[in-house]
Amino acid sequence: MDERIERIKEIVREKLSSSAHDLEHTFRVFKLARMLAKEEEDVNMEVVELASLLHDIARVREDSDKTGETNHAKLGAVWAEKILTELGYPDEIVKNVKHCIETHRYRGDSIPKTKEAKILFDADKLDAIGAVGIARAYMIAGERGERIYLDEDINEYIKNNLVNGKINGRIKDISKHAPNIEFETKFKYIPDRLFTEKAKEIAKERIAFMELFFERLRKEILGEQ
């Protein structure tokens, strides 16, 4: 079992080169998912752990596609199925992990159905908010040449740079994005999308911190004190 997990870690490390979706993010999600799982009953911890480790393996592929057509959740599920099958995991485990990965993303239409999928969804979203969320947002901003703050009408931005002009649509061109826009189109809505009570409790505090940060940032950039 340990050898298989170590092999999975090696594969994930090979696939991830984006600093905000690197192995550190994966391990934070892994720890959060385990913590949330312990608060729930009748959860398959092995599925939670495997899904957490593999959930973002196709993220770099999506980030490099400016058409917005690549969905890292769907592609990652396909890759994970192949990896786990080759490593000899039972079909039922593979099926459940695949569903977890397919449904873990925020911007998408697939809904988590299993407890394990809901836990992965929540853990992944918690790592997108709070102090870590801000840090990750600016890591991405630095990589993609985003501005520190974008003063743009949110509705116009959604129309022009999110797939299908929907607030939950995938980002077409991340170079036209900014952390404060991410907060307005995604981060602040996360608590309402979570499934587990523990995650909702944590998210409430993290979002409150982010609201204070971005309001302070807006005032400093606009010269308001």
As given in the structure block, the two tokens for residue 1 are 């079992």
First CA to last CA across the chain, in angstroms? 57
Burial of residue 192 (number of CB atoms within 10 Å: 0-12, 13-18, 19+): exposed
Whole-number pLDDT of residue 88: 96
Q: How many CB atoms lie within 10 A of CB 118?
A: 22
In this structure, the number of other CB atoms found within 10 A of the CB of residue 112 comes to 18
Residue 130's domain comprises: 2-221
CATH code of the domain in which 121 resides? 1.10.3210.50
Q: Cα–Cα distances in Å, from 18 out to 13, 63, 144, 158?
A: 11, 9, 10, 24
Res 171: pLDDT: 81
Going residue by residue through the chain (225 aa), what tens digit of pLDDT does each one get?
588 999 998 888 888 765 566 788 999 999 999 999 999 999 999 999 999 999 999 887 777 766 767 778 898 899 999 999 999 999 999 999 999 999 998 877 789 999 999 999 999 999 999 999 999 999 888 888 888 999 889 999 999 999 889 887 878 887 888 999 999 998 999 999 999 999 999 999 999 999 999 999 999 998 987
Instruction: Name the domain count of the chain.
Output: 1
